[in-house]
Structure 1
């Protein structure tokens, strides 16, 4: 059994999508980021960076005590290696998947997250930041588009590399990006949208992340962007 501590952000949705794809039994623990639940001592005990997602694996492969992990990329890699799902068996295939997983973690996620912030949540428009992060996110979408020009998925068969990238492409409108400009990404994106596990994962979520339905209160803004611990 896996306990998943989660909010429906791109990183939170990565872990949930893997669990749905792999058919792993899990318990979902919603963490309200705007209420500051990520700063509670019980959560910090398993996620010291006060970020979601985090998991607790109650049946680790070594048969020992429950194992907790934080960081979405580490969670994907751990679960894939433990189950043998959504990651190749051979060394070259694993290297291919891993490098694209790390590309998402180091590039696509942080850059898209920045433009999403400045487009949606920033209290005032900062033209330089918006231009800078829109351009860099467009470059990264272009890298992914070129990668997908001659292949169905990012690294061979559908894998954790696709999961990691997909959840960060879902809020493309908040990133200032039009998928019509990236036809290979569009084709790949539509194929993943149609997967049953994706539909289950995103039921009730849709593309709401990155769209602020109402202005944040001072307390919500502090919890999301202003607290350190």
Structure 2
């Protein structure tokens, strides 16, 4: 490879390296000086407007388009404008991405539940929770805890919720009795004949009622009444009187 070609390729590679950081013609000139390359801009006679560019290294000179067409001044000017826009966009602070919401479990009487405890409650089970804050805000207590069917209200018991107690006509769980007395409908688990269990719906219309009501279907579900199939009786057409002709 002759010296001229070596110089041209050297100039080409250096321009390609420094050009992305140049916003104005002077930036490119000063950047090339660090690599020993001289840059000269050619101005129009009637004005100071740049119309051409040339590069020199080791006393070998090339016009910009001779090094590469994209290094003519017209194309270099376009690159300066692109760089200005790109560098401005990079300098602008990026919009902060909203941080994902922090997962937080239920807090019962000042105690935040663990994932395992919350899962047990939401699946219809119970837990034993310690160091809950009393109404006075000063003393603490511990108790069994369970939720109603809608999972929107907590109930407390000193006894194990699944312990059976006699209440009315049935022997049912403690948790069922608590729900009924609080005015909620409970799908109770009651002891049945032969050592098995049954699951009636039990509730009180009023908390002060002495006895609870019972149904084997959920009274909260209103059954749709099927319309009676009535036979449509078509009206009989009156017989036409055949009159005698006049």
**Structure with higher strand content:** 2
Q: Which has the larger radius of gyration?
A: 2
TM over 0.5: no
**Structure with higher helix content:** 1
Q: Which has the higher contact order (CA 8 A, sep 6+)?
A: 1
TM-score, with normalisation over the residues of structure 2?
0.21
TM-score, with normalisation over the residues of structure 1?
0.22
